[in-house]
Amino acid sequence: MEIIVIGLILLVGAGAIWYFNRSAKSFDVNQDGKVDTKDAVAAVENTVAGVKETADVNKDGAVNTEDVKVAVAKTKAAVKKTATKAKAAAKTTTTTRGRKPKTAK
């Protein structure tokens, strides 16, 4: 089980590095004409900056509990909307469990 978790973490990390550096057309992230450890450092710095920007939900420049509160409020509103739609759909659904309803003769 631990191997799977480690693999998932590595996969997500690699995906984040690719996502936040996708504008670079090659491995030369810092565009200095050669691929070296400076490119890896630049890629990680781009990724960290991108993750911080994404996590700063309320755009106050800091990632803190206020961001969590905003995210929870947005999630709560989305859940409420989804539950309302599900209730409306359940009211219109027949209870025949996939069978055709019997018709009166």
The model's pLDDT over 53-77, given as tens digits with 9 standing for 90+, comes to 888 988 898 889 999 999 999 999 9
Query: Can you tell me the mean pLDDT for 80-96?
Result: 82
**Side chain identity, residue 26:** S
Domain locations in the chain?
2-85
**What does each C-alpha distance from 25 to 9, 42, 53 come to in angstroms?**
25, 14, 22
User: What are the residues whose beta carbons fall under 8 Å from the beta carbon of 10, sequence distance 6 or more?
Assistant: none
Band of pLDDT at residue 83, cut at 50, 70 and 90: very high
